[in-house]
């Protein structure tokens, strides 16, 4: 009997290629790994940026990179592998010179994300999570990039390429393979995936402010407000101490219970004002006549 089948887009997400022992990690890399660890009160908190640094050097999460992170942090290689294989941003196989991601989630899917991914796959001759034979481009299906107002969105080396069409995608891929200069829609001129990984590791390249940071769609509300002279209301209120209630200023000899009742806004009933000894015991219907 067939059960419920689920096909994962990340079938190899639980493994690192241990057969490929090649590495470019050297003493300089070790020094930078130690520098990253020193930036945090708890060195283990540096593991994520350290893995990005490994990728910037080896182009993937390499066995040597796992060992180096474990050695610097004083944890096991199993603990490092557990983190490295949990996140899809860490690659188990060598990524291309340029890493292309196509969003197919929600709005991007509605606006043609699946068509973009299919176009890129056919044009490059590779499937999802594969790299072209020349090592130029790797392709990935990615989840929401928080850029729904620019859907459908592609990313190259984690830089945005907005409002994409199949025709734009083909031109983009051809330019990348030809080594042409490509500019992000909202960001810097594209470098390489490894260089982007080094920035994510925490070593800035000085290009953070290159290119626009916001597009017309994101600024539309601001432009409408400016044209109509709208502005957010200013906060003119000042914090003043609350006036003390009469309950808190009662005479010291007044019963505390009565002050608490007044503070809670409870109005005394006529019966409550009668001294306890003078209060008549409540009777049930017919009880008085029975007596």
CATH number at residue 13: 1.10.10.1590
Please report which confidence band the pLDDT of residue 277 belongs to, taking 50, 70 and 90 as the band edges: low
Q: What gap in Å lies between CA 70 and CA 81, rounded to an integer?
A: 9
- Residues 88 and 102 occupy one common structural domain: no
d(CA 28, CA 277): 90
Distance from CA of residue 110 to its chain's centroid?
Answer: 22
Taking alpha carbons only, the member of 184, 191, 141, 154 closest to residue 13 is: 141
| Same domain as 102, residue 179 | yes
Are 118 and 139 within one domain?
yes
Q: Is residue 143 included in any domain, yes or no? A: yes
Domain containing 37: what range?
9-93
Which tokens sit at 276? 């306890």
For residue 146, the domain's CATH number is: 3.40.30.10
Q: pTM of the full predicted structure?
A: 0.70
Residue 247 pLDDT: 46
Q: In angstroms, rounded to a whole number, what is the distance separating the alpha carbons of residues 250 and 245?
A: 9
Distance CA 128, CA 80 (A): 25
205 found inside a domain: no
Round to whole Å and give the CA distance between 130 and 124.
Answer: 10
What is the 3-state secondary structure of the chain? CCCCCCCCCCCCCCCCCCCCCCCCCCHHHHHHHHHHHHCCCCHHHHHHHHHHHHHHHHCCCCHHHHHHHHHHHCCCHHHHHHHHCCCCCCCCCCCCCEEEEEECCHHHHHCCHHHHHHHHHHHHCCCCCEECCCCCEEEEEECCCCCHHHCCCEEECCEEECCCCHHHHHHHHHHHHHCCCCECCCCCECCCHHHHHHHHHCCCCCCCCCCCCCCHHHHHHHHHHHHHCCCCCCCCCCCCCCCCCHHHHCCCCCCHHHHHHHHCCCCCCHHHHCCHHHCCCCCCCCHHHHC
What are 64-75's pLDDT values in tens digits? 999 999 999 999
Q: Do the bridges between strand 130-131 and strand 137-142 make them parallel or antiparallel, or are there none, so unpaired?
A: antiparallel
Q: Any idea which of 27-36, 235-244, 247-256 has the lowest mean pLDDT? A: 247-256
* 120-148 pLDDT tens trace: 999 999 999 999 999 999 999 998 888 88
Considering its fold, how many domains does the chain have in total? 2
Q: Is the pLDDT of residue 185 over 70?
A: yes
Residues 78 and 112 in one domain: no
Query: Which of 93, 128, 151 is the last residue in one of the domains?
Result: 93
Summarised one tens digit per residue, pLDDT across range 24-53 is 999 999 999 999 999 999 999 999 999 999
């Amino acid at each position: 009997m067939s059960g419920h089948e689920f096909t994962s887009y990340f079938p190899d997400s639980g493994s690192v290629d241990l057969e490929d022992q090649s590495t470019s990690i050297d003493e300089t890399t070790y020094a930078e790994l130690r520098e990253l660890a020193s930036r945090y009160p708890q060195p283990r908190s540096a593991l994520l940026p350290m893995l990005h640094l490994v990728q910037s050097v080896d182009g993937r999460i390499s066995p040597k990179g796992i060992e180096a992170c474990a050695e610097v942090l004083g944890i096991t290689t199993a603990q490092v592998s557990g983190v490295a294989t949990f996140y899809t941003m860490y690659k188990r196989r060598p990524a291309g010179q340029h890493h292309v991601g196509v969003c197919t989630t929600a709005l991007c899917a509605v606006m043609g994300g699946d068509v973009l991914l299919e176009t890129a796959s056919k044009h490059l001759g590779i499937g999802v999570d594969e790299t072209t034979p020349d090592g130029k481009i790797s392709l990935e299906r990615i989840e929401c990039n928080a850029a729904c107002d620019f859907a459908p969105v592609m990313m190259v080396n984690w830089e945005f390429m907005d409002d994409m069409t199949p025709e734009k995608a083909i031109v983009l891929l051809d330019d990348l393979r030809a080594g042409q200069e490509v500019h992000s829609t909202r960001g810097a001129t594209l470098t390489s995936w490894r260089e982007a990984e080094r920035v994510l590791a925490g070593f800035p390249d000085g290009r953070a402010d290159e290119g626009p940071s916001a597009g017309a769609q994101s600024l539309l509300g601001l432009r409408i407000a400016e044209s109509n002279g709208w502005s957010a209301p200013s906060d003119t209120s000042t914090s003043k101490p609350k006036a003390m209630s009469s309950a808190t200023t009662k005479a010291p000899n007044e019963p505390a219970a009565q002050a608490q009742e007044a503070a809670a806004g409870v109005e005394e009933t006529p019966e409550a004002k009668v001294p306890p000894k003078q209060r008549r015991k409540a009777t049930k219907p017919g009880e008085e006549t029975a007596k």
